[in-house]
Amino acid sequence: MSLLTMITNACDELSLPRPSIVVSSSDQQARQLLRLANDEGRSLAKRFGWSALTNEQTFTATATSVQVTASAIPTDFAWMVPDTFWNRTSRRQIFGPIDNTEWQQIQGSLVSSINPAFRIRGGTIHMTPTPTTGDTCAYEYISTKWCQSSGGTAQTAWAADSDTGKLDESLMTLGIVWRFLQAKGLDYQGQMSNYEREVTDAILRDGSRSRLSMDMRSGTRRPQAPIMPDTLVF
């Protein structure tokens, strides 16, 4: 479904005339619908770690605390998926993010961190202890690019009528409808409530889910240390 199709579907729902063009239109209503479509896309992308926006980033570490390499944090970085940061060379997980207090405590202490850890400050990854030059590090992250051109180039905003959404386009259409009603000072609560229900359902269906288990060792495929009983009987 293209941007133009989403806008025309929204207009049908709102009993508005269908625009023939959107992005390059000089019509004020079409321009307002375009702005609302961008608002909806940005808002929906921030709601959840959507599988469609989940990417993997790898970079080669340098022997410094601050990983200044340009590939450490991609330009479309929104947030890092928790517990996915690993040094693939040493085969060790990099824990974090640690907070300001912890970081400064480590920096001001004579004892270095036993387990590799990181924090993100000033748009840069900081790591402790200092990794080895040439180590390959990787993590998963959520992208800010929630739509794409007809050729598949990811984007952070609608740029052409033929652009398509990387997220559920039916949700975006519902979002455009209630946002338009709100902008016009009309009753939008019913449409927004329906939209929120659909978003919740989409979040529950998105991607795959691990099976729930009471076994503490079932959450990972990595070897685990044996669990000792609370009481030993001889």
- For 82-99, the three-class secondary structure string (H helix, E strand, C coil) is CCCCEECCCCEECECCCC
Query: What distances in angstroms separate CA 197 from CA 88, 137, 226, 228, one per listed residue?
Result: 40, 39, 43, 45
What pTM value is reported for the model?
A: 0.85
Tokens representing residue 200 in the block: 């919740």
CA angle 73, 207, 1 (to 5 degrees): 90
Backbone φ and ψ of 201, nearest 5°: -60, -40
Give pLDDT, residue 70.
Answer: 75
Helix (H, G, I), strand (E, B) or coil at 189: helix
Give pLDDT, residue 234.
Answer: 46
Could you tell me which of 112, 143, 146 has the C-alpha nearest to residue 127?
112
Give pLDDT, residue 68.
Answer: 78
- Amino acid at the residue 218: S
Could you tell me which of 142, 35, 30 has the C-alpha nearest to residue 78?
142
Q: What is the CA radius of gyration of the chain?
A: 23
Question: Are β-strands 147-148 and 164-165 bridged in parallel, bridged antiparallel, or unpaired?
Answer: antiparallel
Residue extents of the structural domains in the chain: 3-50+167-204, 51-143
Tokens representing residue 100 in the block: 């300001």
Q: Could you list the mean pLDDT of each consecutive 10-residue stretch along the chain, which spans 234 residues?
A: 96 96 96 98 97 96 87 94 96 94 86 84 92 95 98 97 97 98 97 97 85 59 53 49
Give pLDDT, residue 207.
Answer: 83
